[in-house]
Amino acid sequence: MSNECSCGGERCNCALDFQTPVEFIEFLRQEAGSDPQTVAIAWEREDGYVSRYDLDIPKRIAPDMTGVVVRTVERCVKFLLWSAGGWKLWLSGPDEIVKPVAADYTKDGARKFDWEFMSDLYGREMQVEIVPLKNMPQERERAIIIKSRTDGNRIGFDLGASDFKISALREGEVVFSEEFPWDPRNQPDPEYHYTKLSEGLEAAAKALGGKVDAIGGSSAGTFVGKKIGVASLFRAVREKNPQRYSEAQNLFLRIEDEWKVPFEVFNDGDVTALAGAIAMGRNGILGVAMGSSEAVGFINTNGALTGRISELAFAPADMNTAAPADEWSRDQGVGCMYFSQQAVNFLATSFGFEFPETMGLPDRLKEVQAAVAKGDDRAVQVYLKMGRELAETVPWYGEFYDFDNLMILGRVTSGVGGSILLNEARMHLEEFDPELAEKVEIFMPDEKARRLGQSVAAAQIPAIG
C-alpha cells in the first residue's frame, strides 16, 4: 500500500486525493490477521490522566512496508496528542517502529511544533518513554457528568475575541443576559482581563440580588484543569508582557478564589457540544465548528465532559503526502485544512476560483457562499468535496472518540453550502461505512440549541453542594 504523490506540489491533482488514516489502519489490521503484535500508545497529562490507543500490526513486517507502518503509527500518536493533550508519550512495540516515532517527538524532531506547544501548555518539557507492553499505563480519563442543573442562582460566561457574554439564571430561568465588548487580544496587562470579566460577573450577580451559588465558564483556548495554557485571548500578554503571563494563566483560579462558589470552566468547543446535548437531549456528541479554523468539543455517551483539549485543527485527517500544509504547524493533512475557511479557500482555488491576493479568508468564504447560492458548479463542488471528506473522517474520529452524534456548525456551514455539505456527508457515509452510518447521525444544531447559547449552557455545569 502506498500513498506517494505522483506529480508533487501543493496544487497538483494528487493534493485533492483524500486518504483517511483509517484506510491504512484497516490495511494493517487485515495484514495482521489472527496473530498480530500490538503497538501501544499512551499520552499522560495533568493529574495522572491517561489516554491510550492500541493498534494491531503484522508480526512480520516486510522492509518495504516499514515506512508505511511507522507513518501510520506516528499519525495515531499525533491524533491522540491533539485530541487529549499530554506531556509524556508512552510507547510499546517493535523497535523499528516505535523508535523513529519517539525521535519525532523531541525538541529537534519532526514534531518540534507539537513538542514546543505541549511543553509550553503543561509547563514541563515533553518526555518520551519506550516500555514493554505490560508496563504501559492504563487509560484513566476525566469525566464530569453533566446534568441539566437549574437549581439555585447561577452565572455563566462565554469569552470571545471581540465581546464576552454573561448570563444569570435563577432556578433555570434566565434573568440577565448581556454582551460586554472588550479587546483582550491586544491588551498586555492581565489585570485588564480580570477587571473586565469581574465587572460582568458583578452585573450578573446584581441581577440575582447579590446571591450567587455557582459560576460556569466557556472560553477559547486550551486548559490544564482551570489553568489557562495557550489562548489567543491572552496573546498580547504572552508576547509583550511574558513575565506576567502566569497571572493571565491563573485568571480563573483567581476568580474562583474570590467568589468562593462552585466554579467550572471548559473550552468553548466542549461547551458548544454541551449546549447541543442540553437543548436536543442527546449524549455522545462530537461537535465540529468550521470557522477560521476547526474547533471541536466532546460530550461522551454518559453525558460527561472529559477535559480533553480536542484541538483537532492540528490533528491529522489526511495521509496524502501531497496534502496542503498548515502555515503554523507546517504539518500536512491536518484538520484545519479540511474543515474551515482555509479548506474552502484551498478547494475553491483548486476548482477555478480566483481571488485577489489581498482578500482575506472571510471574504473569500463569502464569495464562495454567494456563488453556491446562485448554483455555481465550482462552488457546489467545494461543498460536495468537504461533505465527502467529513464522511470519510467519521470512522477516523471514531477510533479516538466514542460518539453517536456528529454536530457540525460554524460560519462555513451557514447558507446553502452548509446544507449541501451536510446532505453529502450523510449520503457518502452510508456508502463509505454503512454500519457506522447506522450508529452516527450527522446533524446541525436547530434553533433551540442556538438560542440556548454557551453562557447559559456553561452556567449549568457546576454542581451546587
Percent of the chain with pLDDT over 70: 96
244 and 378 within one domain? no
Calculate helix-pair angle for 377-398, 341-350, nearest 10 degrees. 130
Percent of the chain with pLDDT over 90: 80
Asked if pLDDT for residue 5 goes beyond 60, the answer is no
Last residue of a domain, one of 246, 270, 294: 270
309 and 341 within one domain? yes
How far apart CA 368 and CA 168 sit, in angstroms, is: 39
- What are 416-427's pLDDT values in tens digits? 999 999 999 999
- What are 59-86's pLDDT values in tens digits? 999 999 999 999 999 999 999 999 999 9
- Residue entry with cell 511544533: 113
Last residue of a domain, one of 100, 135, 170: 135
Mean pLDDT of 347-362: 95
pLDDT given for residue 203 in this prediction: 98
pLDDT given for residue 2 in this prediction: 42
**115 near 109, Cβ under 8 Å?**
yes
Q: Is residue 75 part of a domain?
A: yes
- What are 95-139's pLDDT values in tens digits? 999 999 999 999 999 999 999 999 989 989 999 999 999 999 999
Cell digits of residue 209: 440580588
The dihedral sign for the CA sequence 84, 332, 393, 2: negative
Q: Is residue 341 part of a domain?
A: yes
Mean pLDDT of 321-328: 91
Provide the CATH number for the domain around residue 366. 3.30.420.40
- Residue entry with cell 467550572: 264
Which of 77, 82, 87 lies closest to 21, judged by CA? 77
104 and 37 within one domain? yes
409 and 357 within one domain? yes
pLDDT given for residue 13 in this prediction: 61
pLDDT given for residue 56 in this prediction: 96
Q: Is residue 384 part of a domain?
A: yes
Last residue of a domain, one of 216, 251, 270: 270
How far apart CA 126 and CA 108 sit, in angstroms, is: 12
281 and 252 within one domain? no
Domain range for 335 is 275-452
Cell digits of residue 383: 461543498
Cα–Cα distances (Å) from 247 to 133, 255, 267, in that order, read: 41, 12, 19
Q: Is residue 8 part of a domain?
A: no
Q: What is the mean pLDDT of the chain?
A: 92
117 and 231 within one domain? no
Cα–Cα distances (Å) from 130 to 52, 91, 117, 239, 258, in that order, read: 14, 5, 22, 36, 44
Q: Is residue 2 part of a domain?
A: no
- Residue entry with cell 501531497: 322
Strand order across the 405-409 sheet? 144-145, 304-305, 294-299, 285-290, 405-409, 441-443
pLDDT given for residue 424 in this prediction: 98
Asked if pLDDT for residue 188 goes beyond 50, the answer is yes
pLDDT given for residue 6 in this prediction: 46
Q: Is 55 helix (H, G, I), strand (E, B) or coil?
A: strand
Contacts 24+ apart (CB under 8 A), 139-143: 139/42, 139/50, 139/51, 139/52, 140/48, 140/49, 140/50, 141/49, 141/50, 141/51, 141/306, 141/308, 142/47, 142/49, 142/306, 142/307, 142/308, 143/300, 143/302, 143/304, 143/305, 143/306
196 and 120 within one domain? no
286 and 264 within one domain? no
- What are 198-220's pLDDT values in tens digits? 999 999 999 999 999 999 999 98
68 and 148 within one domain? no
Q: Is residue 1 part of a domain?
A: no
pTM beyond 0.85: yes
pLDDT given for residue 346 in this prediction: 95
> What band does 256 get if pLDDT is binned at 50, 70 and 90?
very high
Q: Is residue 410 part of a domain?
A: yes
CA atoms in the 13 A half-sphere facing the CB of 435: 2
pLDDT given for residue 449 in this prediction: 65
pLDDT given for residue 452 in this prediction: 64
- What are 290-308's pLDDT values in tens digits? 988 898 999 999 999 898 9
Domain count, the chain: 3
- Residue entry with cell 466542549: 270
357 and 294 within one domain? yes
> What band does 450 get if pLDDT is binned at 50, 70 and 90?
low
